[in-house]
Structure 1
Amino acid sequence: MAFTLKGVAYVTGAGSGIGQHTAYSLARQGVRSFALLDRNAVAATVGELQKMAPDVSIQQFELDVTDEKAIDDSIAKTVQEFGRLDYAVNNAGIGGMIQTSDLIPKDDFEKVLAVNATAVWHCQRAQIRQMLTQNKLSTSYRSARGSIVNVASMYGLVAPPLNVPATAYATSKHAVIGLTRSDALQFAHRGIRINAIAPGYVMTPLVQKTMATRDMMETERKKVPLHRYSDMEEIADCIAFLHSDAASYMVGATLVADGGYSIV
């Protein structure tokens, strides 16, 4: 079914990569009110959105998602500006060292968990608190008080291979899926849908940089049944779908978009 999104979107990591293209996909589906967050400037994303939809309204936040107060304040300012929060995308994340546990410094491991897991919890907690205060967008049985999508990874479902020992990253993404399922169960009956997406290898700027210096990326590409990497728009479109009424019966799900990597 075709779908149209009406409401307010809140996207972390919106300055580039999956977050940036998620904003574009949401705009293509009808969203016109955005809160865009990134530790770097989101000017490029804002400029493209304004070209796509001249009537778009955007709140910009340059912040670190590990700053709990800043996250709470950004939610408050979003609601002050737009009146509500309908679609949240918790996408900001880092890769960390590609090393086994015996070689990872504690500080690096804890930093990856802080950004990829604890910060997602901070964001989701604030989003849930707001969504509980608002009514559904429509009277349709498919409508919800709000929808949250957490960006996990195929490495949140399977262990990374021997040649890509992304231990801290995989641990953090398993945590994201656990958080998604736990809160989805607690809040589904209160009108909030929470799901996750598990992308495989995506041609983000970070991956492109890695591919330029590591033979492992070509080795991994050959393992994907589709024999290619995803582009960012493909993952963004999956996220938009999860927010839509077309996915209204999906709760606590992890939508896998990895080209078949995890079924091999």
Structure 2
Amino acid sequence: MVSLLRGAAFVTGAGSGIGQYTAFALARYGVKQIAIADINPVSLRSTLEQLKSRNANVEILPLELDVSSESSIDQAISTVVSQFGRLDYAINNAGIAGPAQASTDFRPSEWQKLLDVNLTGVWLCQRPELRQMMKQQPLHPDDVRQGRGVIVNVASMLGLVASSPNTPATAYTASKHGVLGLTKTDAVMYAPHGIRLNAICPGYVETPLLKAATQSGIMAKEIEKVPMGRLAKMEEIADSIVYLASPLSSYMTGSGLVVDGGYTCQ
């Protein structure tokens, strides 16, 4: 496998799903130092063991992390930099789905919890990530395509369109629209410093939860709106994240890369 990536990476929500497969992909494409973070210690241990078995030459730093806690995040980034010396790729993936409800059915506490994780959590992660990247020199100072660092925020196709009445996701949709706005704004602010920020907007992905919902028939009407006729594989989303992190996308910043199988909200 060609080494597209070098340096140190940090992935939140790495205990399962897209975050876990992103950690696998980063190692597969050349990253030799990976910090994996998750709020669930059991899931984190599973990712750690699988990464070790697949990549004996990769240095792995497991971190139990609550992305809604500023002090927890600041400590995590400090630990990453202390062990690895720098931070080249930050993948802010941690998120929750929340209740499938319309606005009139949401309780304020449910709304706030989801935004605390999905939107404020991304912002809290970006702050120390950006501060560290601002301090460090590019890995290859003479290569214009190599900057000081790259941040990829995991949004959703629901950061661009409304959720379907079949599967209402009011707070989730609002949070992912916010992630795109945050990404675009900070991309403009930090581009002159050699830091790129992009978001990825996955469609329906074959996570264990969504796969079960599909098999039960709950998602049938939504899958009909996907011209490719299937859920995305987690590897497909992880590979797209690697693309955004790599020099292959070196002239992209402030973008939302849509990976949704051609989904139409009609």
**TM tier, smaller:** over 0.9
Aligned partners of 1:235, 1:182: CA distance in 2, in Å? 23
Cα shift readout 1:85-142 (whole Å, capped 9, x = no counterpart): 0000000000111111011111111111110000000001110011000000102110
1:219 positional shift: 1.6
What is the match of residue 23 of structure 1? Answer: 23
What is the match of residue 52 of structure 2? Answer: 50
1:231 positional shift: 0.8
1:209 positional shift: 4.2
Deviation >4 Å, runs of 4+: none
Mean CA deviation greater in 188-197 or 35-44: 35-44
User: Is 1:189 paired with 2:195?
Assistant: no
What is the match of residue 217 of structure 1? Answer: 219
Question: Which letter maps to 2:241?
Answer: I
1:181 positional shift: 0.2
What is the match of residue 69 of structure 1? Answer: 71
The equivalent position to 2:155 in structure 1, one of 152, 156, 165, is: 152
Aligned-partner SS, 1:184: helix
- Indicate if the aligned counterparts of 1:3 and 1:245 stay in contact, CA closer than 8 A: no
The equivalent position to 1:239 in structure 2, one of 238, 241, 245, is: 241
The equivalent position to 1:119 in structure 2, one of 121, 128, 148, is: 121
Cα shift readout 1:31-70 (whole Å, capped 9, x = no counterpart): 1101110011211211221122211111111121111101
User: Is 1:200 paired with 2:203?
Assistant: yes
Aligned-partner SS, 2:62: strand
Aligned partners of 1:179, 1:262: CA distance in 2, in Å? 25
Aligned partners of 1:132, 1:7: CA distance in 2, in Å? 16
What is the match of residue 175 of structure 2? Answer: 172
Where do 5+ consecutive residues of structure 2 fail to align?
A: none
Aligned partners of 2:250, 2:194: CA distance in 1, in Å? 11
Question: Which letter maps to 2:173?
Answer: A
Aligned partners of 1:210, 1:262: CA distance in 2, in Å? 20
What is the match of residue 250 of structure 1? Answer: 252
User: Identity over aligned residues, as a percent?
Assistant: 51
Q: Give runs of aligned pairs for residues 88-167 of structure 1, distance below 5 A.
A: 88-138=90-140, 139-167=142-170
1:205 positional shift: 2.2
| TM-score with structure 2 setting the length | 0.95
Where do 5+ consecutive residues of structure 1 fail to align?
A: none
CA RMSD of aligned residues (A): 1.3
| TM-score with structure 1 setting the length | 0.96
Aligned partners of 1:112, 1:209: CA distance in 2, in Å? 22
Aligned-partner SS, 2:224: helix
Aligned-partner SS, 1:126: helix
Q: Give runs of aligned pairs for residues 73-84 of structure 1, distance below 5 A.
A: 73-84=75-86
- Indicate if the aligned counterparts of 2:186 and 2:197 stay in contact, CA closer than 8 A: yes
What is the match of residue 40 of structure 1? Answer: 40
